[in-house]
Amino acid sequence: MTAKKILSEGAFISISDVTVALCAVLVILVVLKSRKRERKDLIPPPGPTPWLVIGNMLQMGDKPHISLTLMREKYGDVFQVKLGSLLVVVLSGIDTVKQALVRQGESFAGRPDLYTFSAVADGTSMTFSEKYGEGWILHKKICKTALRTFSQTEAKNSTCSCLLEEQICSEASEVVDLFMEFSRKEGCFDPAVPIISSVANVVCALCFGKRYDYNDKEFLTLVQINNEVLKGFATGNVADFFPVLRYLPTSPAIKTLVQYIKRMNSFMERNIEEHLNTFDKNCIRDITDALIAKCEGRHDEGKKALLSNKQIVHTVIDIFGAGFDTIIAGLQWSLLYLIQFPDTQAKIQQEIDDKIGSCRLPRFEDKPLMPYTEAFIYEVFRHASYVPFTIPHCTTADTTLNGYFIPKDTCVFINQYQINHDVDLWNDPNSFDPERFLDESGQLNKDLMEKVMIFGLGKRRCVGDVFARFEMFIFLTTLLHRLKIENASGQTLSLSADYGLTMKPKPYKVTISQRL
């Protein structure tokens, strides 16, 4: 059989077929070689060698923000670690983080597909799980507009019955009364209880149009549920790092977290259903009403509502969480620094006496007039760094940062703690010194203030960061306007904290006395 070759199966292939096949193989080899040459330019970020199965999890220890800050010294501002099977790129350094979150903002604006995030809202939470895109941009715009409805700048034309400044000032006065009540009953006391009560009432009033007594059962249950949900996020979830576990029988820890999330969602749904039934566009009672008003009777290109009821529920949950834990932690840390550094407290009180006086309580308009007080708040943000990482980001497309290739859908950690303790930014970063933010004339150094990382940057920056700063200012100045706060006798203070999504100081007690 000339020009024929018999194969073992008895089939026949012509020489011309073999020629075509060989040519095809050569083309494939050329393409593969070309791609290999191209991929030489796609350098992955460096990082420690991962162990089998667990990756670099053991290297994280019980203080991941410290461990990853130390790794940055060896691997630079962009490096990668493996947490179980999850590849994580860690970003440090203010310039690198600004490049990623601001200049390349769209590329880093996603959220990773973590089991914990999906348990929260099935993709409808603007903060945790909704994918970045036109829908998310619209969702955030509606949320920001609803929040602005309650700002003092909108007050003249607002139909709202619950304005932000009035509510914060009212609750700040209430927390002073609670401090005095606790002092009468107990002498020295843990300030966390009255702080949690008053801050939670601000956000309850803004979100639901109601406030609670600090020992109200429904109120205490809500606070407990929120704390447990945040605790669940803080400890992390093994199913986030080992996705196969999502399909196995649920562990007790995951079950507990999901149960608390369902209880929180149920509480929100009941309140929002009540708002939908009693909604009056001429009387906007709270943020829930404002969100309904923005969506009521309006449709995007006539196809669907701007926000579904489910999205409204999770937007309220997002606002509740943002206005709750971060501010409570900030105030707990602030009081701890005030009793640790009494000279600092005296300087703030002198500024209060000079700029506000004794005849009235602080207002929003006083904030720009009190640079030392604001410098103190920023130094608390920086030194405590009690939000050590932003909520994880995710790349929305293949991208390059600092010369390193980062594929689409890569989980990204932003190390805010490292930036706030970077020796290249801060002189003696481990020292607590509010005056680092003041220039020679005693005015604020705004360029330096912008380098403090606490609320994130770019497209995923916390929508309530401005309100959080105002709330901390009013609470602190109202407390110090009326009270002197001191360390409890014989108590040794600690500025260390256990790691978490939001890090709280270790429990401590204070004593108070009224200022004359």
DSSP class of residue 250 equals: P
Which candidate, 110, 117, 112, 101, places its Cα nearest to that of 132? Answer: 110
Decide if 503 contacts 380 (C-beta within 8 A).
no
Span 438-463, average pLDDT: 92
3-state secondary structure 339-406: HHCHHHHHHHHHHHHHHCCCCCCCCHHHHHHCHHHHHHHHHHHHHHCCCCECCCEECCCCEEECCEEE
Decide if 77 contacts 47 (C-beta within 8 A).
no
Q: How confident is the model at residue 338, as a pLDDT?
A: 97
Question: Which helix (H) or strand (E) element contains residue 483?
Answer: strand 483-487
Instruction: Provide the token pair at 454.
Output: 């606490």
Q: How confident is the model at residue 261, as a pLDDT?
A: 76
Q: What does pTM read for this prediction?
A: 0.85
Residue 395 has pLDDT above 60, yes or no: yes
- The CATH superfamily assigned to 57-514 is Cytochrome P450 (1.10.630.10)
Residue extents of the structural domains in the chain? 4-39, 57-514
Question: Which helix (H) or strand (E) element contains residue 83?
Answer: strand 78-83
Confidence of residue 5 (pLDDT cuts 50, 70, 90): very low
For 58-72, what is each residue's pLDDT tens digit?
998 889 999 999 999
Is 462 known as a binding-site position? yes
* Integer Rg of the chain from CA: 27
Looking at per-residue pLDDT, the higher value among 218 and 117 belongs to 218
Backbone angles phi, psi at 394, to 5 degrees: -150, 140
Please, which residues bridge with residue 86 across strands? Answer: 83
Residue 408 has pLDDT above 90, yes or no: yes
- For 114, counting Cβ atoms within 10 Å of its Cβ (0-12 exposed, 13-18 middle, 19+ buried), the class is buried
Instruction: Provide the token pair at 400.
Output: 């390059």
Which candidate, 62, 60, 57, 82, places its Cα nearest to that of 71? Answer: 60
For 262-285, what is each residue's pLDDT tens digit?
787 788 788 888 888 888 888 888
Which candidate, 101, 33, 28, 43, places its Cα nearest to that of 76? Answer: 43
**10 Å Cβ neighbour count for 311?**
23
Please give the Cα distance from 183 to 190 (Å, whole number).
10
Q: How confident is the model at residue 134, as a pLDDT?
A: 78
Which candidate, 317, 318, 261, places its Cα nearest to that of 118? Answer: 261
Which candidate, 408, 416, 419, 409, places its Cα nearest to that of 391? Answer: 416
Decide if 47 contacts 79 (C-beta within 8 A).
yes
Looking at per-residue pLDDT, the higher value among 221 and 329 belongs to 329
For 360-374, what is each residue's pLDDT tens digit?
999 999 999 999 999
Backbone angles phi, psi at 486, to 5 degrees: -130, 165
Confidence of residue 160 (pLDDT cuts 50, 70, 90): very low
- For 233, counting Cβ atoms within 10 Å of its Cβ (0-12 exposed, 13-18 middle, 19+ buried), the class is buried
**10 Å Cβ neighbour count for 37?**
9
**10 Å Cβ neighbour count for 2?**
4
Q: Tell me what percent of the residues of the chain surpass a pLDDT of 90.
A: 47
Which of helix, strand or coil describes residue 305? Answer: strand
Residue 315 has pLDDT above 60, yes or no: yes
